[in-house]
Amino acid sequence: MRIIPAIDIIDGKCVRLSQGDYNTKKVYNENPLEVAVEFEAHGIQYIHLVDLDGAKAKHIINYKILESIAAKTNLKIDFGGGLKSNEDLKIAFDCGADQITGGSIAINDRETFLGWIETYGAERIILGADVKEERIAITGWQQESDKKLIPFVKDYQQKGISYVICTDIKKDGMLKGPSIALYKRLLTATETNKTVVSMSGVEDVKVPGINLIASGGIANYEDLHALQEIGCEGAILGKAIYENKISLKQLEHFILTS
């Protein structure tokens, strides 16, 4: 399971929110590049970089920070927040993003989002499925849509999406554990049948349908093992790192031994 620390940006600074509420903003470092360099020094290879200013403004804003981290580290960057147009997407990739996450646009402008998948490939486009009471939330989690999680993900799975970040907003930043039961249901619902030939003959087996990246609520080292055990492909951590609930040494150990 990939370990993916989050770096959330407001006003060029590394911050964390609780349950997506901008009024709960807490600044952890005024230099996001410094944070990224430290992550890389502890064996981390991936980060989830979120432009919270962009999410609110509905267009990319903090692309210079993306560009700086991409140029000065070897981290593979998933970038999200405020990507609403083909121009936004081009800026993100030109500035060094390896993947982007689209959330609100997958609801509000399905045609453009499907065009991104076709143009850049499903490996580079992640579906952001952020949920409140199992309904998809959009616009930096400020609005709730009428879309339910599992049908929403399965629909895009049929369109080729293979990577999904699912955040339970109620869990985010609360350090009370991830939504294991929710992730289990989502993984089960997106399994696909595959016919294989084995020593005992021809049989149908279930294979994973999506690469699920869990996000929100991770509080301790044991949570990582719990997510790995149910089949998550990745785990995004934020406040647990910044509040020293999980040390970078522990993450380094997890990466080396998993």
Categorize the per-residue pLDDT at 206 as very low, low, confident or very high, splitting at 50, 70 and 90.
Answer: low
CATH of the domain at 41: 3.20.20.70
* pTM of the entire predicted model: 0.92
Alpha-carbon span 232 to 183, nearest angstrom: 8
Quote the number of domains for the chain.
1
pLDDT at 142: 64
Per mean pLDDT, which of 141-150, 170-179, 220-229 is the most reliable?
A: 220-229
Flag whether pLDDT at 93 surpasses 90. Answer: yes
Alpha-carbon span 93 to 90, nearest angstrom: 5
Q: What angle, 0 to 180 degrees and rounded to 10, lies between the N-to-C axes of helices 149-158 and 180-189?
A: 40
Categorize the per-residue pLDDT at 243 as very low, low, confident or very high, splitting at 50, 70 and 90.
Answer: very high
Active-site residues, by number, are: 8, 130
pLDDT at 203: 63
pLDDT at 173: 82
Categorize the per-residue pLDDT at 245 as very low, low, confident or very high, splitting at 50, 70 and 90.
Answer: very high
Categorize the per-residue pLDDT at 226 as very low, low, confident or very high, splitting at 50, 70 and 90.
Answer: very high
Flag whether pLDDT at 95 surpasses 70. Answer: yes
pLDDT at 190: 94
Q: What angle, 0 to 180 degrees and rounded to 10, lies between the N-to-C axes of helices 221-230 and 248-257?
A: 30
Q: Is 167 exposed, middle or buried (0-12, 13-18, 19+ CB in 10 A)?
A: buried
Domain that holds residue 163: 2-257
DSSP single-letter state for residue 75 = -
What percent of the chain clears pLDDT 70, i.e. is strictly above it? 92
pLDDT at 202: 60
Flag whether pLDDT at 214 surpasses 70. Answer: yes
